[in-house]
Amino acid sequence: PIASDSARRRGSTGRPWGNTNTQGEEARVESKHGMNGISHRGRVLTLDSMNPNVKRVEYAVRGPIVQRAVQIEKELKEGVKKPFTEVIKANIGDAHAMGQKPITFFRQVLALCSYPALLEDSKFPEDAKKRAQRILEACGGHSIGAYSTSQGIECIRQDVARYIEKRDGGIPSNPDNIYLSTGASDAIVTILKLLVCGEGRDRTGVMISIPQYPLYSAALADLGAVQINYYLDEDNCWSLNITELRRALNAAREHCNPRVLCIINPGNPTGQVQSRQCIEDVIRFAKEEHLFLMADEVYQDNVYAEGCQFHSFKKVLFEMGPEYSNTVEMASFHSTSKCYMGECGFRGGYMEVINLDPEVKAQLIKLVSVRLCPPVPGQALLDLVVNPPQPDEPSYFYLLFSLQERTAVLSTLAEKARLTEQIFNTVPGITCNPVQGAMYTFPGITLPQKAIDKAKELGLVPDMFYCMRLLEEDGICLVPGSGFGQREGTYHFRMTILPPTDKLKVVLQKIREFHLRFTQEFS
Amino acid sequence: PIASDSARRRGSTGRPWGNTNTQGEEARVESKHGMNGISHRGRVLTLDSMNPNVKRVEYAVRGPIVQRAVQIEKELKEGVKKPFTEVIKANIGDAHAMGQKPITFFRQVLALCSYPALLEDSKFPEDAKKRAQRILEACGGHSIGAYSTSQGIECIRQDVARYIEKRDGGIPSNPDNIYLSTGASDAIVTILKLLVCGEGRDRTGVMISIPQYPLYSAALADLGAVQINYYLDEDNCWSLNITELRRALNAAREHCNPRVLCIINPGNPTGQVQSRQCIEDVIRFAKEEHLFLMADEVYQDNVYAEGCQFHSFKKVLFEMGPEYSNTVEMASFHSTSKCYMGECGFRGGYMEVINLDPEVKAQLIKLVSVRLCPPVPGQALLDLVVNPPQPDEPSYFYLLFSLQERTAVLSTLAEKARLTEQIFNTVPGITCNPVQGAMYTFPGITLPQKAIDKAKELGLVPDMFYCMRLLEEDGICLVPGSGFGQREGTYHFRMTILPPTDKLKVVLQKIREFHLRFTQEFS
């Protein structure tokens, strides 16, 4: 489409018309040969005339490399010969897609909720039935097909609050501060939407880590907020450093109004687990600098490294005393998609807000009401995640089995985390920090200058070129580091550690061989 | 909170600070007695310093009256004596909450998808198993707990396309033009987000009917778009009139750039069903005036009135010939929440786009990728809705039963639609159009001047005052017409016709008595 190619070159103008290749109506086109007499108005909605903020959105985790991976899968199905027989999608933290099995108890309860006639079936354990009955009783018409309240089903919010209290050693949690959501992404975008305003130098600035999970940069582009990058310290296991936070903040104050600090702990894509001290420093910094804290804690159960432990921002905040716990505004996010259950497809999640202005809370409830409610099956699943089978429930042996499933998943992940670090660090030109938590590794890769030049020649960023070659040659789909952000002149990729151990070993070996081959080719 | 009350009086300033009642930190407050020496910065996020677009959002269907209804329910539970024993929430189209039972076959398949061990269970019909197996095979790792592609599972999009082709008498539908969504609301907001841009007089204007479903006004406020009202003709059964469309458009051209025309057919809250002629006129108008058409067709199966029939915008568009079908840009929306199944809690839905610029499609896919995927259980449910049990499948008797459930639901709704119109029109001061389709009635109510004055005295819009009194006196929760928009000086309420017939009769009788009492009180 020539016209729209030229439109793209002109970039976004916000002009409310376009001149793309629409056929079949009167046309009025300025061609490169001048007016050609055919008059038409083209499409209403074109690249030229669409929302420029949407154009600025990028989301690497499902970007062009993944689209190419899907295409290659189709080609394989159609019998096209390749140097490999399957595409391994290590681009996304999707446990079930990697063969992990769902927790039996959770799915039994969901089946009972979906088709309550099964409540009469003796094959289902009594505990599962009790849970299903409790959830159904909290639903309109006792059906998960009814809308829930927009904030989420009340008894599930109570269970979430109890879960948080238990996690945080008794620090109280109020169900009124819990908002169920469509995955964590939904809640993160909602809070950002409340916070972003102002024009020009008054525009809200939001501090995000680099590397970051690209939901953040995408949401900020969409909202037209100013993205403030603070860099994690790769040489110190991707740790967060207050000096760097302060540098980034001071620089940003020149051109925007920084109001928000986003933290991902355990880190995505970087896999680090923050120390208690670091969290305390961050909270102190947020208070001093008058920043709203957003704590993305969806990997709170995914901690593997010796000596590492998850500390929730809320717990640390409250342990710092009323001077902090009564003043620092915060939202913490959690999800059913990660941890040991990995139930991504259900889109369950919640956030807890702390010290949120009561008037803003009313606005938040109004805002979430517009979308009616989070998916009820996801809410039901979340209820089971925060309130898993307890020892005092009647069918305890069965529950033990469920808990064994959970433990097995987590210990296997810990093993894979170690394996990944070990093997990558045997490859000259790959440097891999320990995967302390979450489910990704983000190793640095050294690329020869000739490869960088070749990439530029092809119009690709160098690590995209690297990942595309890996995909074409070995059928392994990774995400280039540039999709998450990295220091100028450094290159990385993100890989999930979720593939089954045997397959992961093959993947690591193949990447090793590819890297050596690639390096040699461009030396 | 005195400080924030004063903040509210000042209105939205977009200033990035607030001075609400935060305790426990250094304070710098300008009190009404001047500087009092206590210095503090207050909260980061206050009514004053939040996104002003969010503040402008209103969503009456779950507004203050519903919050009061929930409160009254709690009071009843706590034993507070009221003139009624239960609150009837006729404010929302939530079929299951009103006692409608889910379609057995759908829920069997969902249970099988949730807990595939049931595939071994002889109690489940073979058809249900086959469907579940097909859906599971299309899922990553054969689990509905895996993410799907962001556009939705491919075989489900194929089924949706086949459904549309069958509905539209063979007009082709391309699965690549189908986008699955988290209910219809999600897709509607996504398309609006692509379309809204520009500043000042170039800002995108979006035409919506008055009365409208408040998702539209809420989304437009959130996006900062210009809302262009066109009024439906109450005296002609809420029909849409091209002269009025043109009037609204011309007036709007003075101050914005109108680019989008939204239509709800069958109508919400007004229940009218558009004639084929009207749809043709609308399409011609959209083409002439260079508008993007958004057709909200979520009530396409809810048509009751003699002589009325649902015509999809797409079908009419294609029947008008290539001059239209190759040029008019359109998106049509559908959902699992309405029709005969009423599965609101699953948040399933889809949109079909027609003539969307390929480059914009790429942007759309990128945009939906950020939220990863629509809930997979909702996608599975949508698959069953668009591809219900067929006569040639093995357990046909069972399927017949499912189809009977469907027919029963729809014929009961038709009866309730007639009943509602009949009874309301016996009440002096209530004027009710036929409920031709959808699941609501939006009768006009005549309010005595004294009641209007009393409402103003209380700071309420008159029909909110009316509905609040009805709620307090009779426990019936309706939504005031002002939440949907209405002509100046007219008053209405929206009521769903979903309550079971016996209960609906009681509701209608109670509203009748209330209206007479209310009118007398203020005469």
Res A191 pLDDT > 50: yes
Three-class SS state of B1: coil
Could you give the ipTM of this predicted complex?
0.86
In this complex, do B373 and A196 lie within 8 Å of one another by their Cβ atoms?
Answer: no
Q: Is the Cβ–Cβ distance between A312 and A167 less than 8 Å?
A: yes
Tokens 């699992």 belong to residue? B336
Contacts of B288 (CB under 8 A, 6+ apart): none
Nearest one of B357, B331, B365 to B150, comparing CA atoms = B365
What is the tens place of the pLDDT at every residue in A464-489? 999 999 999 999 999 999 999 999 99
| A16 to B202: CB separation less than 8 angstroms, yes or no | yes
Rounded CA gap, B295 and B188, in Å? Answer: 9
Nearest chain B CA: its distance from A123 CA (Å): 10
* DSSP 8-class letter at A239: B
Whether A359 sits inside 8 A of B20 (CB atoms) is yes
Task: Check residue A471 and give its pLDDT.
Answer: 96
CA of A45, closest CA in chain B: separation in Å? 7
B363 to chain A: nearest residue by CA?
A55
Which of B22, B54, B157 to probe by mutation at the A interface, max A CB count within 10 Å?
Answer: B54
Given a contact cutoff of 8 angstroms between Cβ atoms, the answer to whether B331 and B459 are in contact is no
Measured in angstroms, the CA of B40 and the nearest CA of chain A are apart by 11
Cα–Cα distance measured from residue A260 to residue A251, given in angstroms and rounded to the nearest whole number: 15
Q: Locate all alpha helices (DSSP H) within A118-214, ordered by sequence.
A: 126-137, 154-167, 183-195
Torsion of CA A218, A479, A211, A431, to 10 degrees: 180
Mean pLDDT across chain A, nearest whole number? 88
Nearest in space to A291 (alpha carbons), one of B43, B12, B47: B43
- Name A183's Cβ contacts closer than 8 Å, sequence gap at least 6: A335, A336, A337, A344, A347, A348, A349, A378, B371, B372
Indicate the class that CATH gives domain A148-374.
Answer: alpha beta
**Over 90: is that where the pLDDT of A370 sits?**
no
Is A59 in Cβ contact with B369 (below 8 Å)?
yes
Out of A50, A107, A198, name the one closest to residue B360 (CB). A50
| Residue B103 pLDDT | 86
| Residue of chain A nearest B57, judged by CA positions | A367
Interchain pair A375, B4: CB under 8 A: no
Q: How confident is the model at residue A25 (pLDDT cuts 50, 70, 90)?
A: very low
Nearest to A102 among B143, B257, B378 (CB): B143
Across the beta sheet with B292-296, what order do the strands follow?
Answer: B178-182, B348-354, B330-335, B292-296, B257-264, B204-210, B226-231
Taking the CA of residue A362 and the nearest CA in chain B, the distance in Å comes to: 10
Q: Of A437, A404, A406, A408, which Cα lies nearest the Cα of A420?
A: A437
Evaluate whether A59-98+411-521 and A148-374 have a shared fold: no
Beta strands A88-89; A178-182: pairing state = unpaired
Of A164-173, A403-412, A513-522, B197-206, the range with the lowest mean pLDDT is: A403-412
pLDDT, position B13: 32
B247-265 average pLDDT score: 96
Class at the top of the CATH hierarchy for domain A59-98+411-521 = alpha beta
Domains in chain A: boundaries: 2-50, 59-98+411-521, 148-374
Q: Cβ separation of A183 and B291 shorter than 8 Å?
A: no
- CATH architecture, domain defined by B149-386: 3-Layer(aba) Sandwich (3.40)
Interatomic CA distance for residues B295 and A269, integer angstroms: 40
- Half-sphere exposure in the Cβ direction for A154 (13 Å, CA): 5
- Asked if the model's pLDDT at residue A26 lies above 90, the reply is no
Q: Which CATH class is domain B57-98+406-521?
A: alpha beta
pLDDT of residue B401: 59
pTM, full prediction: 0.88
Instruction: Say whether pLDDT at B100 is over 70.
Output: yes
pLDDT at A392: 75
pLDDT band at A30 (very low <50, low <70, confident <90, very high): very low
